[in-house]
Amino acid sequence: MPSPSELRAQALRVLRGTQKQMNSAEWVLGLEDQDGATRHAAAVALLDVQSAKVRLEQAQLEDIRDRLSANEAELAGACRDLERALKSLERVRAILDQARRLTGVVATVMAKI
């Protein structure tokens, strides 16, 4: 069972990697072939990823320790699934769905701060 510190580090690692991938030329060029709704969803997802990353980076571990532990399974699963989805850029929808899932769990953890 990972410690709250390890859970936070894992989520931040995945969020940073996701942000980097979603800012890559490959990602941007891949979105050019998508419809407007998908491009809009990608922009919103990127903003959500950036926001979740900043909030988690700025949070004091002692303030979120219990909520990280309470959401351990969901947080670990969301990180794992997003990392899998990022391996294939053709799966834009899957990446957006998993990014929304992870940022939702981070929002739950951060809700009371």
The span from the CA of 96 to the CA of 64, in Å, is 25
What integer pLDDT is reported at residue 84 of this predicted model?
86
What integer pLDDT is reported at residue 91 of this predicted model?
75
Q: Decide if 14 contacts 82 (C-beta within 8 A).
A: yes
What integer pLDDT is reported at residue 9 of this predicted model?
92
Q: What amino acid is encoded at 74 in this protein? A: E
pLDDT averaged per 10 residues, the chain (length 113): 88 95 91 91 95 91 87 92 80 84 90 74
What integer pLDDT is reported at residue 43 of this predicted model?
95
The span from the CA of 100 to the CA of 97, in Å, is 5
Interhelix angle for 36-58 vs 92-110, to 10°? 30
